Structure 1
Amino acid sequence: MTSTAPGQAATAAPARTSPPFVTVEQVTKRFGDFTAVDDVSFEIQKGEIFSLLGGSGCGKTTLLRVLAGFEEPTKGRVLIDGQDMAGVPAYDRPVNMMFQSYALFPHMTVEKNVGYGLKHESMTAAQRRDRVREMLDLVQLTEFAHRKPHQISGGQRQRVALARALARAPKLLLLDEPLAALDKKLREHTQFELMAIQERTGVTFVVVTHDQEEAMTLSSRLAVMDKGRIMQIGSSTDVYEFPKNRFVAGFIGSINQFDARIVSIGGDVARVLVPDLGGEVDAAAIPGLVPGQEVNLAVRPEKIAISRRRPDTDDSAQGRVESLAYFGKDSLYRVRLHSGAIVLVNSVNDRRAGEHARVADWEDEVWLSFEPASAILLTE
C-alpha cells in the first residue's frame, strides 16, 4: 500500500553552503521558577520558511519573542546574519513581526496602515509612496488602498498586515499564528499566497503555529516543540514519516501505537511481537535494536490496508468495524481487534458509488495488514 504525508515542504531547504542566517545557541528563558524555553539550539538558512510547531504552552511564542528582542534569554545567545543580538533592542534588529491579531489601525486606510512603519525611515515622501505601492502590488491589494480594515475581508486584512511587516525590508520576518483567524478554506488558500510572497521577496520567515497541516504545507523545515524543548527538526516528510520518538509520532497527524518486543533481526527487517495485533509482524529495523528489547510499534492509519477478505500474508489481524466516519474523499474506520485494541484505518473512497464506495461497513468482520516499511519502531 502506498501513501504520502498530508503535506509536503513548500520549498526544499536551502543548501548549507553558507553560514547559517539565524543561530539559536543553547537558549533558555525562565520566568521565575517556570522554564518556558529549555536549552534550545538550532540554525536557519537564509531564505527558509522555518516553523515552530507545538501545542499551547510549549514555548514556541516565547522563543519567537526572544528572536524579536521582546524578551532577553536567561542564558544562551541568538545570532542574526552573523551578529550577536545580545543587548540589541527590538527596534534595532533586522527583524519585523506580524502578530496574530494583525494589529491594524481601524481609522487608517489600507495604504496608511502599510506605510505606518516607514514614518521614521530615512526616506523621502516619494520613496515612501513608491514602497507602499510596491507592497500593495506584492500582496495584490492595490485596488483596496483607500479602504479601511473593516471594509475588506479577513484574508485581505492578513495580507495588509503582511505588507506592513515587509515594508521596512526586514532580513527576518517573524509570524505569530498568521492564519489562525481565517476559516479553513481561506487558510489553505492563503498558505500558498504566503509561500509565493516569500519566494518573491527572499525574506527568511519564522512561523509559529499550532496547526500541523499549516506547518507541513508552509515549511522548508519545522521544529516540533514540547515543554520548552525541541523534540525534532526536519522537513515535513522527515517528521511525518520518520518521527524520532513517541511524542512526535503522536503529535503529527494520526497514528496507531502498540507496545511491542523485538523477537529477531534479519538485515533491515525486525520481527516484532505485538500482543494487541495477536502475534508477530515484520517492521523496518532501526539501528541499535537487540532481541528482547521493549519498543513501540507505530503505523499511520493510511498505511493500513483493510479488507473483508483475508490477505495473502500471515502478518494480519482480524477485527470488527466498530464505527466509521465518511469524509467524502476518504473514510476513517475504528476497528476493534480480537485483542480488544482499537485501530484507526484511513481508506480512500476511489469510486463514486454511495455506500458501496466503502471497502467495509458497520459491524463488518475485516482483516488489517501493512507493509513492513510502513511500521515505525520507536525506542524513546
Structure 2
Amino acid sequence: MAADVEPFLRIEGVSKNFGPFQAVKDVNLTIGKGEIFALLGGSGCGKTTLLRMLAGFEEPSSGRIFLDGQDMTGVPPWERPVHMMFQSYALFPHMTVEKNIGYGLKHERMTAAERTDRVRAMLDLVQLTPFAVRKPHQISGGQRQRVALARALARQPKLLLLDEPLAALDKKLREHTQFELMSIQERTGVTFIVVTHDQEEAMTLADRIAVMDRGAVQQVGPPGEVYEHPASRFVASFLGSISQYEARVLRIEGAEALLDVPAFETPVRATAIPGLVEGEVLTLAVRPEKLAIHRHPPGGPNAIPGEIKDLAYFGKDSLYRVTLPSGQLISVHAVNARRGGEARPDWYDKVWVAFEPAAAILLRG
C-alpha cells in the first residue's frame, strides 16, 4: 500500500475452517481508503470465502477484521457499512430500474424526497437516467451490471465487495465496463474489493492485487510489480503466460549471473537476485513478450537457436512455440509491425530466440 494511502481495512490472522477443511489460512492484509483491491485466484482458492467474511455472511474461525477502526467481530451483515454485489446481480425482474436502485433505501432514515433524489443521483452516476422506467429484461447485460452497482452504492457503503462482477459479460463489453467501474469508483471514493479469477481484469481494475492459492495469500502488490517480479513459480505461472526452466548458477559477474540452463544447451545471463550463490539451483522464467524472434543470429547475449513448431496468428500479433535444441518448447509473443516486404517467420523455420538479461526472472520458491 502506498505511503500516502490511509489504512482503512485490516485483516489480521484470519482463517476459516469448514470441518477439517481450511478454506482460508492466516490471511493478513491492509487495504487503503479509496483503493480498488483485487483478490485474484482460481476456483477454490478461498477468495470468495474471505469476501463473505468481510460482508459478515461467514464468521472467521480465528483472527479479526477491522473496518475504519471498528472491530467487525460479531457485527451482523445488516449493521456493517458494507455492501456486497453478487455475480448474478440479483435484480428484481418485476421492478423498474429506478425501483431496483431504490429498494435498499426503504429502511433508511430518509424522507421520500431524499430517497427520490438519491435514486436520481445514482441513475446519473451510472448513466442510466433514460432507462429508469425499464425492467431488467429490457436492458443489456452491461446496463444490468450498472443497475446492480447503483443499488449497491445508493446506501453509501464505506466498503463495496464485488464477487466476479464482470463474469456474465462478453469480452468486449467486459473491457469497456472495467473502465466504467474505475471511473465510478474514482467519483464516489468508495473502497472496492473485487474477487476475480481473471488476471487481465484484476490488472486493469486494481491498484493492488493479492494472489491467493489454497486459502493463503501468495503475494501482494501493484499489478506491475506482481507481474514483473513474481515471488514464486505459482505466482509467475498464474499471472500471465511464462516459460520456466531449471537453471544452475555458474558464477556471479557483478549485477549479473551466468547460468547453466540444460533446456538451452548454452549458458545464459540474467540479472542477479539478492543472496544468489554459485552452484545454486533455481528456476529461470521468461515471459513470451520479453523474447524476440530472429531469422539470423542476433548480436548480444542469450540467443538460442530453435525451430518453429506452432504458430498462432492474431492479426496485430502472433504467438510462436519454438522447439529448443533440448526438445523443450519456449513461447514467443511477437507484434506484427514488420516492414513491407519483410517475411514473417513461419512453421518449421529455423530461428533464433533472444532475450535481455533483465528480462529473465529468477525464482526460488
TM-score bucket of the superposed structures, by smaller chain: over 0.9
Structure 2 residue 309 is matched with structure 1 residue 322: yes
Moved more, 305-314 or 118-127: 305-314
State the secondary structure of the residue aligned to 1:295.
Answer: strand
- Give the Cα separation in 1 of the matches to 2:346 and 2:25: 48
Counterpart of 1:114 in 2: which secondary structure?
helix
Which residue pairs with 1:376 in the alignment?
A: 361
Q: CA shift at 1:316, angstroms? A: 1.4
- Which residue of 110, 116, 123 maps to 1:129? 116
How far has the Cα of 1:352 moved from its partner?
Answer: 7.8
Aligned counterpart in structure 2 of residue 40 of structure 1, from 20, 27, 32:
27
Q: Which residue of 2 aligns with 1:86?
A: 73
Please give the alpha-carbon distance, in whole angstroms, between the structure 2 residues aligned to 1:57 and 1:48: 25
Superposed CA offset, 1:111-151 (max 9, x none): 00000000000000000000000000000000100000000
CA distance in 1, matches of 2:195, 2:31: 14
The answer to whether structure 1 residue 61 and structure 2 residue 48 are counterparts is: yes
Question: TM (normalized to structure 2)?
Answer: 0.98
**1:360 maps to which residue?**
345
Match of 1:265 in 2: 252
> What is the distance in 1 between the residues matched to 2:183 and 2:164?
18
Shift, 1:357, TM fit: 6.6
Q: Is the 8 A contact 1:30 1:74 kept in 2?
A: yes
Which residue of structure 2 lines up, in the alignment, with residue 248 of structure 1?
235
Partner of 2:87: 100
Q: Is the 8 A contact 2:301 2:355 kept in 1?
A: no
Q: Which runs of 4+ in 1 moved over 3 A?
A: 13-18, 356-359
1:349–1:358 CA contact under 8 A, matched in 2: no
Listed as ranges, the matches of 1:186-225 within 5 Å are 186-225=173-212
* 1-structure distance, mates of 2:118, 2:241: 45
Asked if structure 1 preserves the Cα contact closer than 8 Å seen for 2:206 and 2:223, the reply is yes
Q: What is the CA deviation profile of residues 251-299 of structure 1, one whole-angstrom value per residue up to 9, with x for unaligned ones?
A: 0000010000011112211111101011211101111111101100000
Identical columns (%): 68
Q: Distance in 2 between matches of 1:314 and 1:128?
A: 66
Q: What TM-score do the two structures reach when normalised by structure 1?
A: 0.94
Relative distance call for 1:358 and 1:46 in structure 2 (3 A) is farther
Structure 1 CA distance for aligned equivalents of residues 101 and 342 of structure 2: 51
Cα root mean square deviation, aligned: 1.2
Of residues 147, 155, 159, the one that matches 2:146 is 159
**For structure 2, which runs of at least 5 residues remain unmatched after alignment?**
none
Aligned to 2:265: 278
Q: Are the structure 2 counterparts of residues 105 and 358 from structure 1 closer, same or farther at C-alpha, using a change threshold of 3 Å?
A: farther
**SS of 2:267 mapped into structure 1:** strand
**Superposition pairs for residues 290-301 of structure 1, below 5 Å?**
290-301=277-288
Query: 1:169-224 deviations in whole A, cap 9, x for unaligned?
Result: 00000000000000000000000000000000000000000000000000000100
Give the aligned partner of residue 4 of structure 1. none
Amino acid at match of 1:97: M
Amino acid at match of 1:284: T
> Counterpart amino acid of 2:308?
V
2:12–2:64 contact (8 Å) kept in structure 1: yes
- Alignment coverage as a number of residue pairs: 365
Task: Identify which of 171, 175, 187 aligns with 2:158.
Answer: 171
Q: Considering Cα pairs closer than 8 Å and 6+ residues apart, tell me whether 1 or 2 has the greater RCO.
A: 1
Measured in 2, the distance between the counterparts of 1:79 and 1:277 equals 51
